Structure 1
Amino acid sequence: MTSSATTLPSLRSLCVEIHAGVAEVQLLGPSKGNAMGPDFWTELPSVFEALSDDDAVRSVLIYGSGGNFSYGLDLPAMAPVFAPLLGAGGMDAKLREGFRRQIKALQDSVSSLARCAKPVIAAVDGWCIGGAIDVIAAADIRISSPKARFSVREVKVAIVADLGSLQRLPSIIGEGATRQLALTGEDFDAARALSLGLVTEVADDVVARGRELAASVAANPPLVVQGVKQVMNRRTQNSVQDGLDYVQVWNSAFLASRDFGEATAAFAERRPPVYRGE
């Protein structure tokens, strides 16, 4: 990282560089497809809190490495989060409350983009799946390459999406489109993302275009720019937080299901899952 004001410990899942008022945050993995493991969830809020407080930073660009934004939640790496609750069959109230707090911590990590005083631009190339949709939904501007592919895929692995997409997407793409994408878990391409308004433009060199947009934002009066973000966030922040709080309770009660166990087993065995509504 290059900045006189921002200091961070060594990072494993992210690379941060600051030049001419623009902070670039690159997802590194280390899992395949920049999948989001424990390091990511710890480092993301630390980075965005530091950038929010750094007066040298006027805008932030976030993008992935290796040709993808992110495959989303790294299920194998995050298994220890789910294992105790699943092992108890969801019957231990203390474990359920601990799990609710873990969901809240992950939500707060994603929300660090929305809380950041500086506008955040997400540049999407390749796959942007599940938890990655939550992350870009918390950004202020989203753009993509023609090769970008998206999916609100949690329903496919027996999870109610709980990190912000169900709360933020309706104000971005509309209620009906959000319901369709979240209930089907279908993949969709950059052209559809553009038509829905999930992204505002498609660019062949999406990172270069993201840098142009970030520089354009950074050239404007910083307090005014921050004021625009604060005023616009005010429109939805209470309803977003209410929804996040509700889904914490829902998933702490219902995620420990036989269907979720089947989803994780099918993922490990690379076979289609068979869901029974149990």
Structure 2
Amino acid sequence: MDYEFDEKLTALEATRHGTDGAVVRVTLLGPGKGNAMGPAFWAETPRLFRALSADESVRAIVITGSGPHFTYGLDLTSFASGAGSTLADDGGLARARTRFLYEIREMQTSLDEVAACRKPVAAAISGWCIGGGIDLLAACDVRFGSADAKFSIREVRMAIVADMGSLARLPGILSEGHLRELALTGRDFDAAKAERIGLLNEVLASPEEAVAAAHAFADEIAANPPLVVQGVKEVLDVNRAERVAAAQRYVTTWNAAFLPSHDLTEAMTAFAQRRAPEFGGR
């Protein structure tokens, strides 16, 4: 049964599950087979999660991807022609950088609403979860993965300082050493490592079992007193929220100042040409 929402969703699908429809499953739809996070995702996510947070009939949320992958992360094609192109205006002077700063903040709001949702959010991950997908996982309360799940905090390999929340929220999930290892290298890692370092709560044998585990968690929550559950989230989040907000402000300012570079152009060109980039530190 579709979740009753006041607008048509194109990047997400929301359906009711569980007893009395108290659990809502949010499925990433794309564009593309890897459920890339394009403009529609960033526009629809905050509105949907604000509605879910306010809906008293909803007690828990499960988020997953359609098809074999959770998400390939930010849709680089739309980014290059949209927010990324803003910095080319006015030769990259103050007006363009200020506009870009507010565009980043607007995109951050999308995942901030996931983190701030009063209802617990469980993620079920299979296949690839890259870049912006990690940002989304970091905004969830718990994470279940299938054995085939693969992860990468890949922004560094694209000459970008990750600015959608992973560097702000993962310090509360991973140890500092593991976070620095993965954020500084951008290397790929598997579900076994993700569980070992605390990114995943549990690894299941198949994608179907990962989704089932997330729903079992959500059903268990839905049976508890809803206002107390929301109170637990509020208390757990009270210290983290201030630290995350400060880190988000800082990285937004950093990227508005320093994101445009020869290395970023080289990363985007190499991505389009399907070759390894050659970075020069310019």
With the length of structure 2 as denominator, give the TM-score of the two structures.
0.95
Matches within 5 A, 1:152-231: 152-204=153-205, 205-231=209-235
Report what 1:2 is aligned to. 2
Aligned equivalent of 1:258, options 256, 262, 281: 262
Q: Which amino acid aligns with 1:84?
A: T
Q: Which amino acid aligns with 2:252?
A: Q
With the length of structure 1 as denominator, give the TM-score of the two structures.
0.96
Give the superposition deviation at 1:77. 1.6
Question: Contact conserved, 2:89 with 2:96, CA < 8 A, in 1?
Answer: no
SS at structure 2 position matched to 1:46 = helix
Q: Which amino acid aligns with 1:234?
A: V
Report what 1:34 is aligned to. 35
Give the superposition deviation at 1:32. 3.1
Quick check: 1:238 aligned with 2:231? no
SS at structure 1 position matched to 2:34 = helix
Give structure 1 stretches of 5+ with no counterpart: none
Report what 1:49 is aligned to. 50
CA distance in structure 2 between the partners assigned to 1:137 and 1:231 by the alignment: 18
Matches within 5 A, 1:23-172: 23-79=24-80, 80-86=82-88, 88-90=90-92, 92-172=93-173
Q: Which amino acid aligns with 1:141?
A: V
Question: Contact conserved, 2:52 with 2:58, CA < 8 A, in 1?
Answer: yes
Question: Contact conserved, 1:81 with 1:102, CA < 8 A, in 2?
Answer: yes
Give the superposition deviation at 1:60. 0.3
In the TM superposition, structure 1's runs of 4+ consecutive aligned residues that sit over 3 Å from their partners are 86-89
| Percentage of identical aligned residues | 51
C-alpha change, 1:99 and 1:88, in structure 2 (3 Å) is: same
Give the superposition deviation at 1:88. 4.8
Question: Contact conserved, 2:88 with 2:96, CA < 8 A, in 1?
Answer: no
Give the superposition deviation at 1:174. 1.4
CA distance in structure 2 between the partners assigned to 1:273 and 1:216 by the alignment: 47
Q: What whole-Å deviation, never above 9, does each CA across 1:201-223 have from its counterpart, x for those lacking one? A: 01121111111111111111000
Give the superposition deviation at 1:58. 0.2
Give RMSD over aligned pairs.
Answer: 1.1
Give the superposition deviation at 1:228. 0.7
C-alpha change, 1:88 and 1:186, in structure 2 (3 Å) is: farther
CA distance in structure 1 between the partners assigned to 2:36 and 2:6 by the alignment: 22
SS at structure 2 position matched to 1:32 = coil
Question: Contact conserved, 2:144 with 2:211, CA < 8 A, in 1?
Answer: no
Q: What whole-Å deviation, never above 9, does each CA across 1:84-118 have from its counterpart, x for those lacking one? A: 3146553x101101100011011110111111110
Q: What whole-Å deviation, never above 9, does each CA across 1:2-42 have from its counterpart, x for those lacking one? A: 35xx4231111100012330010000102230000000000
CA distance in structure 1 between the partners assigned to 2:91 and 2:201 by the alignment: 44
